[in-house]
Amino acid sequence: MFVSFAMAMSLTGSIAMAMPARVKNLFIGIQDCTFMLDIHAHLDWKDFTDVSGVLERMRAAGVRGVIAAGINPESNRKVLDLAASHPTVYAALGLYPDEAQVMSDAEVDAEFRFIEAQAVAGKIVALSEVGLDFSEERSIIDVARQEAVFGRFLSLGAVTGLPSIVHTRKAEARVLEMIEGLVAEGRKATVVLHCFCGKKALVKKAMELGCYFSVPAIIARSEQFQALVSMVSSRQLLLESDAPFLGLDKRVPNEPSCVAGTLAVVAGIKGVTLGEMRRMIEMNEQAVLGMAMGRYQS
């Protein structure tokens, strides 16, 4: 069951159970949310056999567009095809840390050059999905390879002005160290921390570095993400689905339409109206993506 506009309005099932009462009233008027972006989704995933239907439900929920992230060479090309076929899909290309560490140096170099060319041509709006993953369940953790590839993407973002949408599982401190190193060199990088799970001290450091935080739908029942939103300035928040992952119902794929419900939860936590939160998110989207969107041509 995806989190659609209809579900948001009815507030039934697990969503209603998870939300505090003060949040529920904020769903009134959610149909006016016509500007919003889902900042991070995987529309090329095998779960999505009907992308047009997914996008129709997204628009019905008041979400005007979605950034589709690539994770490897095949995924990156699928993302470009999706963006070329659907005007509400914006392409972002990257190498997921798991993927990067099993590729040869030559393969990484070739794909990086391909992504760089797409960036220069205005074919993408972000570098995604990139980052570090040091989680223990990984069968292979090549720290040096992951850091080398991630560092190249941070540098590319600084040169092109494209934001990096960053995966940080069990590597939050090191990710921030690498961003801090870039800043110390006088280079500016726009960074969105996707589903950031670092401790409070790291959240504070990320805010000081000017990072943005994208919030998933599971905030409706996740105390960790609720605490994150409470702590982070509204000027540094964005919304994401991570579709088909991180939905409120694990039995079915998550969809970009869930972003409408996430907005209401975030507004409730911040103690502002839906319209006020909506305008703030829009300003943040403009700050992060304005330049890239201005030169984008799918």
- pLDDT of 7-46, one tens digit each? 333 332 333 344 444 343 433 333 443 468 999 999 999 9
Which whole-number Å values give the CA distances from 186 to 98, 155, 159, 180, in the listed order? 29, 12, 12, 10
pLDDT at residue 128 tops 80: yes
Cβ 214 vs Cβ 238: under 8 Å: yes
Amino acid letter for position 273: T
d(C-alpha 14, C-alpha 254), whole Å: 14
* Rounded distance between C-alpha atoms, residue 71 and residue 182, angstroms: 23
Question: Per-residue pLDDT averaged across 201-211, rounded?
Answer: 98
53 pLDDT more than 60: yes
- As assigned by CATH, the class of the 5-294 domain is alpha beta
AA letter at 219: I
Q: What is the pLDDT of residues 75-114, one digit of tens each?
A: 999 999 999 999 999 999 999 999 999 999 999 999 999 9
pLDDT in tens, 223-259: 999 999 999 999 999 999 999 999 999 899 999 999 9
Please count the CA atoms within 13 angstroms of the CA of 61 that sit on its side-chain side. Answer: 30
Q: Are 127 and 161 in contact (CB under 8 A)?
A: no
Residue 88: CA count within 13 A, CB half-sphere: 24
pLDDT for 36 equals 86
Cut 0.85: pTM above it: yes
- In this structure, the number of other CB atoms found within 10 A of the CB of residue 243 comes to 29
Longest dimension (CA), the chain: 55
Locate 163 and state its tokens. Answer: 């934001």
Confidence of residue 298 (pLDDT cuts 50, 70, 90): confident
What per-residue confidence (pLDDT) applies to 140?
Answer: 78
Report the distance separating Cα 233 and Cα 229, nearest Å: 8
Specify whether the CB–CB gap between 150 and 131 falls below 8 A. Answer: yes
Q: Among 45, 124, 46, which Cα is nearest to 89's? A: 124
The share of the chain scoring above pLDDT 70, in percent, equals: 88
**What's the pLDDT score for residue 35?**
60
Angstrom CA distances, 140 to 84, 137, 144, stand at 35, 9, 12
* pLDDT bucket at 54, cuts 50 / 70 / 90: very high
Q: What residue has token string 């570090």?
A: 132
Distance in angstroms (rounded) separating the CA atoms of residues 35 and 159: 28
Is the CA virtual torsion 272, 276, 279, 280 positive or negative?
negative
What pLDDT shows up at residue 72? 98
* Lookup result for tokens 């960074």: 191
Q: 36 forms bridges with which residues in the sheet?
A: 63
Quote the CA–CA distance of 155 and 21 in Å, as a whole number. Answer: 45
